[in-house]
């Protein structure tokens, strides 16, 4: 049996599960109480979730610093309050005529050091509270932009007139929901993500990830 007292393992989070749903399931199946993460995923998103067991939780900053790769789908014309499909539509604007070349030209402007305002529905703290808690209470605060690093944004699919897919490789602290919002504005409209998958965290990809359907069989008890 595997000793989980200092263990790092990627899991594949399904849509509809929160990152902490995966942690709770693992606490039940392994008996290990001390489980941390190297960056959560939104409940609507899927993908690689790197979990840290036991003493490995002390290395969370090391794993959080890894580059990440995402696949995202953006729908233009409507912006939701959460910037994803779970929220309420708060802005609607016409979508201009676009083609692949025009979209990629805008995407190219979002590489390098980019100023990004985080979503209100996020786990960042403001005055001791999580932003998503304030947002659920109907409160809004004026957030300052933060500098994030985006290494590449590539168009991977275009479904005229209002939907496209992108691949994003970025550094820590980047919100892909906010990136989708900002790209839509740069295209002359508004938008939100309809799908999001994290395909890689540093050296960890789907090939190394344990599927949720395998959790009960993945029981290295000794920890």
Residues annotated catalytic, as ranges: 42
C-alpha–C-alpha distance, residues 54 and 144, integer Å: 35
Confirm if 212 and 13 have CB atoms less than 8 A apart: yes
Q: HSE (CB half, 13 Å, CA atoms) of 181?
A: 21
C-alpha–C-alpha distance, residues 133 and 6, integer Å: 33
Please state the length of the chain.
223
Angle between the N-to-C axes of helices 176-186 and 100-107, in degrees from 0 to 180, rounded to the nearest 10? 120
Tokens found for residue 20:
């902490």
């Amino acid at each position: 049996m595997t000793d989980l007292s200092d263990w790092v393992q990627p899991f594949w989070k399904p849509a509809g599960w929160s990152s902490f749903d995966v942690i709770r399931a693992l606490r039940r199946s392994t008996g290990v109480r001390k489980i941390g993460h190297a960056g959560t995923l939104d409940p609507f998103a899927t993908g690689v979730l790197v979990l840290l067991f036991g003493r490995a939780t002390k290395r969370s900053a090391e794993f959080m610093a890894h580059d990440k790769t995402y696949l995202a789908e953006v729908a233009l014309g409507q912006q939701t309050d959460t910037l994803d499909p779970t929220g309420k539509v708060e802005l609607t604007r016409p979508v201009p005529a676009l083609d692949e070349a025009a979209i990629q030209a805008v995407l190219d402007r979002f590489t390098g050091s980019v100023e990004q305002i985080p979503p209100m529905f996020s786990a960042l703290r403001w005055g001791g509270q999580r932003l998503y808690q304030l947002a659920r209470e109907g409160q809004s605060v004026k957030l300052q932009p933060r500098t994030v690093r985006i290494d590449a944004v590539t168009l991977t699919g275009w479904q005229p007139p209002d939907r496209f897919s992108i691949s994003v490789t970025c550094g820590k602290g980047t919100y892909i929901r906010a990136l989708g919002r900002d790209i839509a504005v740069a295209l002359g409209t508004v938008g939100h993500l309809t799908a999001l998958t994290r395909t890689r965290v540093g050296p960890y990809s789907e090939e190394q990830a344990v599927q949720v359907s395998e959790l009960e069989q993945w029981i290295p008890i000794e920890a």
